[in-house]
Amino acid sequence: MIETLVWTALALAVVGVYLSWTAGRLDRLHSRMDAARAALDAQLLRRSSVVIEVAASGALDPASSIVLYEAAHAARQADEEHREVAESELSQALRAVFADAAQVEAVREAPGGEAAAEELAAAVRRVPMARRFHNDAVRAARALRRHRKVRWFRLAGHAPFPLAFEMDDEPPVDLADRP
């Protein structure tokens, strides 16, 4: 009788430790996902700020400046549910304006344009990386949350189900290829 109780208590302790470890792992994944989202938000904000700066610099023709400024402003002001669309539209505007290598050269030749073009190129290269890190963290958290043990024992608590950030983040070819 006592031996059965000891083995039962030991089995319950092992299951409890395993569930606790799983809950800790899930918490770390959620923390990693939150940090990746903050990094993505920072890169998106940086990209739109640099685009606004380039649009206002006078290095581009007025039509291109207006297109870039409006797309960047819309991306900065978009609420969470429309943010993916606004950021995709900014990516499309960047590709449309910088589809011609002459536009990139026009920015580079303007006073202070070399630094602005380098900063813009860095910003458009970092957004896809930040989005990839975020979506990888979301994918890992989703995979763990789909396990039965996580659902049955409600190890995720009240945390919302993780959502990936899906947007068009393809950079302009002539801008992104620059070192």
Block means of pLDDT (10 residues each) for the chain, 179 residues, are: 92 92 92 97 97 93 95 96 96 94 88 91 96 97 93 89 95 74
Angstrom distance (rounded) from CA 90 to CA 30: 28
Q: Is 46 helix (H, G, I), strand (E, B) or coil?
A: helix
Domain ranges of the chain: 22-176
Within 8 A by CB and 6+ apart from 172, the residues are 94, 95, 97, 98, 99, 104, 124
* Predicted local confidence at residue 158, as pLDDT: 87
* Predicted local confidence at residue 175, as pLDDT: 77
Within 8 A by CB and 6+ apart from 72, the residues are 47, 48, 49, 51, 52, 55, 90, 93
* Predicted local confidence at residue 178, as pLDDT: 53
Q: Is 154 helix (H, G, I), strand (E, B) or coil?
A: coil
* Predicted local confidence at residue 176, as pLDDT: 66
* Predicted local confidence at residue 112, as pLDDT: 87
Predicted TM-score (pTM) of the model is 0.90
